[in-house]
Structure 1
């Protein structure tokens, strides 16, 4: 009996590959942001400029200043009320104390307003100038903060000068290029995402059957008859692979909270023994950017190109919007929305059409370097025909732990359900997929490695589908060396 090999590369490759790339770009983006925050914390350290302990013989202004330095809200408020009642109370000192009380109460706009008023009244009040520069740093008003820090020099206080240098260096890094590059070798158990399945399908044969024998009626004339023929998808291909991931990002600060941001990503998997399945993806996105202490927002155009087997498979262009909010430095919520138009090549133009994507991600920092994260994603893809259009819903969750030894372990799982919008006649079903992905990443981040981070990744994917063609299981193991800058 003859088998018919069923091949539909886009049906097998397009949807899972795109989902993988979306997840990877999201991970790279958050990796850059987390590394920037960690490096900034190491550069600046404690945001204060030091404090002296109060003494019993301190006069009232000195005691008030020391209470402010110690960030003692109750004592500052008590001493301020006494100080304001003095006939010789200095208005600048009163404004300074009130600004710090606003800081203690997390009223950053109020604190900045009072410090700006104080700086306008008395530009020679160095401590107020330092605090204003520091608060502008916290509020991500980078240009103004850098200008103030650059105008301060206190030779008699070398420790303070060193702290100023730390702030200035951190501000320079905020406007510098940052990113990561990783290259590694791995193994893929099912690189063509094949179900390796066989199915009997009824087919009408006329004149000759599937074995080449004539089909004759009782009178010896050619006729037609139904045959049940086995249809087979390709065998699952396994083999070694080279994998690479590159990400770059830069934000140029403008006036106030505003800026211009650029980001780019390049991802790929190269299969030396199966080059027809090699994948590359490149995306670029310039954007307007707004940032303050707890919030960031960006909006701008985005373009993306994807290659499979050495040929361009598709490209798309559209707009991307991103919003992030942090809460008490322990939790954050990020939302990314994209809308773009897909253009396919090589006879697959019927997949052309718009797609809309939503990613929502929450992160919560626990004690002892534990981090919980999770989120929801939604994709709506419209093609020329409803049978090629689909909706996808996904849930993501994971946990990460950084150990004192420098090892960081991250486990995450992704559940996604995809529903196509019309009945597929050949598959004899309205396709619905349920995909489960489990991934464990182990990183070793040690100073002795000079910025290079070895990463071992284990990934298992199980895609269950109403379509016999699209059911598959896949295991990947990759060892990569990553360098962040």
Structure 2
């Protein structure tokens, strides 16, 4: 092969294969960003709850003063309400046990109290069942209706919660309760709307072609002698760019906890540099757009999505590949602070143009584990493991990748937030490629820092500084070893 054609072919193949991997990382980042933004909206309606100490069963402490509660309807009924308000759940159990033994007790109050105790233990299904029974027992009991509406809100049964809050709001409630109701109504309206983000900015990339410029001299030997050859890889191309991304997300409630989920992502770079090459120039500007549309189940503990997907990648002034597939995501809240999850994805990629002859029958299968822990209202640590199996018609192009990531998100009172992530990936191909010189094994490190500056926000537009450094080491270093630094200052609008 011509000495100049070999590096060019390696460049095209490296660009195409690494683009899929980089796109998966960016897609994962933007999907996590959607979830984080939605969770921040939900958490803004929650209040830290710390139950006070519990004393003897016949006593209750209110604002530091201890009161005696006699085993009578007159004492126990208001004591149950007070214990619920103070979130003294052990007291609620104690008082209800005595109260329901008395003739003339209110069964609806017992059921409501039992439901609230179940909620405190994160048993939302039992809590909702008890509060429904309380409503059936006494339809005019406004407190039970309010607690049921709140539980349905927490359990993402939004339509029924909205209807109950509307009934409560029009029932002549006290003025001090109305702001609470209006807060839930606003949250429900916000939950059912389109949400997303859009950002645009100026950036710099130290190596848009992911090359190393390495030059080697090697000898080709025949029976009549050996001859030296020089192999020169393309030099890294530096470029400024306009960078952008757009995310959209909406759930349409079908019934109960069942929803239709729509998600869209689009992101890319418009570089001001391209490579002069024969026989055609290479343009590095790129765009990746993905649409997810499918089924979603969400309750207080679980969030399950099963969505077909379509992806389009645009590179070198044309569609590089398109893919169809599906994605399954399941997240489970082990507590108010700890969430774990698992995801699986399949894509069938169809390459276009000249790349089709090198990439036939490309399929990508992924499975990943995820976890996040809310240290406090402003700090989240997260991490995950991911396995990717890349299948192609040629065994030398097939690979297995193992990725681990760890990150932290922190918001500061000064009006800044930081999201720092580190990723480590190992990739091993299935068979030796004699053309490249062996069995390819890559080790990749990626470090990402995003600094949000809401302190300088103007009309809802927030500046963000994005820095990403990639170091790819390969045993076939002449072709695949490279370093890359990306920096961008973006303006972001969330909606």
Task: Provide, for residues 425-474 of structure 1, a one-character-per-residue CA deviation record: whole Å limited to 9, x for no partner.
Answer: 21111111111111222111238533222111222111111222111111
Partner of 1:265: helix, strand, or coil?
strand
Task: Provide, for residues 281-334 of structure 1, a one-character-per-residue CA deviation record: whole Å limited to 9, x for no partner.
Answer: 111110100001011101121110111111111111011111111221212122
Partner of 2:405: helix, strand, or coil?
strand
CA contact (8 A) 2:472 2:482 kept: yes
After superposition, where does 1:78-477 map in structure 2 within 5 Å?
Answer: 78-153=94-169, 154-203=171-220, 226-274=226-274, 276-349=283-356, 350-352=358-360, 353-367=362-376, 369-446=378-455, 448-467=457-476, 468-477=478-487
Task: Provide, for residues 411-435 of structure 1, a one-character-per-residue CA deviation record: whole Å limited to 9, x for no partner.
Answer: 2211111111111121111111111
Task: Provide, for residues 148-188 of structure 1, a one-character-per-residue CA deviation record: whole Å limited to 9, x for no partner.
Answer: 11221243512322211211111122211111111111111
Distance, in Å, in 2 between the alignment partners of 1:327 and 1:380 is: 30
Quote how far apart the aligned CAs of 1:44 are.
Answer: 6.3
Partner of 1:31: helix, strand, or coil?
helix
Match of 2:37 in 1: 35
CA contact (8 A) 2:203 2:240 kept: yes
CA contact (8 A) 2:405 2:423 kept: yes
Of 280-289 and 170-179, more deviation after overlay is shown by 170-179
Quote how far apart the aligned CAs of 1:118 are.
Answer: 1.5
Match of 1:478 in 2: 488
Partner of 2:283: helix, strand, or coil?
helix
Distance, in Å, in 2 between the alignment partners of 1:106 and 1:391 is: 40
Distance, in Å, in 2 between the alignment partners of 1:422 and 1:477 is: 36
Partner of 1:158: helix, strand, or coil?
coil
Task: Provide, for residues 89-128 of structure 1, a one-character-per-residue CA deviation record: whole Å limited to 9, x for no partner.
Answer: 1222222222222223332221111111121222211111
Report the RMSD for the aligned CA atoms in angstroms.
2.4
Partner of 1:312: helix, strand, or coil?
strand
Tell me the TM-score normalized by structure 1: 0.90
Task: Provide, for residues 36-91 of structure 1, a one-character-per-residue CA deviation record: whole Å limited to 9, x for no partner.
Answer: 2222333566899xxx9797697331122111221112222222222222222122
CA contact (8 A) 2:456 2:463 kept: no
More relative contact order, 1 or 2 (CA 8 Å, 6+ apart): 1
Distance, in Å, in 1 between the alignment partners of 2:436 and 2:189 is: 57
Quote how far apart the aligned CAs of 1:15 are.
Answer: 3.1
CA contact (8 A) 2:107 2:137 kept: no
CA contact (8 A) 1:248 1:265 kept: yes
Partner of 2:255: helix, strand, or coil?
coil
Distance, in Å, in 1 between the alignment partners of 2:392 and 2:3 is: 32
Tell me the TM-score normalized by structure 2: 0.88
Partner of 2:147: helix, strand, or coil?
helix
Of 77-86 and 390-399, more deviation after overlay is shown by 77-86
Change (3 A) 1:47 1:452: farther
CA contact (8 A) 2:109 2:134 kept: no
Partner of 1:469: helix, strand, or coil?
helix
Quote how far apart the aligned CAs of 1:3 are.
Answer: 6.2
CA contact (8 A) 2:457 2:463 kept: no
Of 36-45 and 429-438, more deviation after overlay is shown by 36-45
Change (3 A) 1:41 1:400: closer
Distance, in Å, in 2 between the alignment partners of 1:366 and 1:60 is: 38
The alignment of Structure 1 onto Structure 2 pairs a total of residues equal to 465
CA contact (8 A) 1:21 1:267 kept: no
Quote how far apart the aligned CAs of 1:257 are.
Answer: 0.8
Change (3 A) 1:87 1:293: same
Quote how far apart the aligned CAs of 1:226 are.
Answer: 4.2
CA contact (8 A) 1:155 1:161 kept: no
Distance, in Å, in 1 between the alignment partners of 2:229 and 2:407 is: 45
Distance, in Å, in 1 between the alignment partners of 2:181 and 2:429 is: 58
Change (3 A) 1:400 1:92: closer
After superposition, where does 1:39-78 map in structure 2 within 5 Å?
Answer: 39-43=41-45, 59-78=75-94
Distance, in Å, in 1 between the alignment partners of 2:456 and 2:44 is: 13
* Runs (5+) with no aligned partner, structure 2: 51-61, 275-281
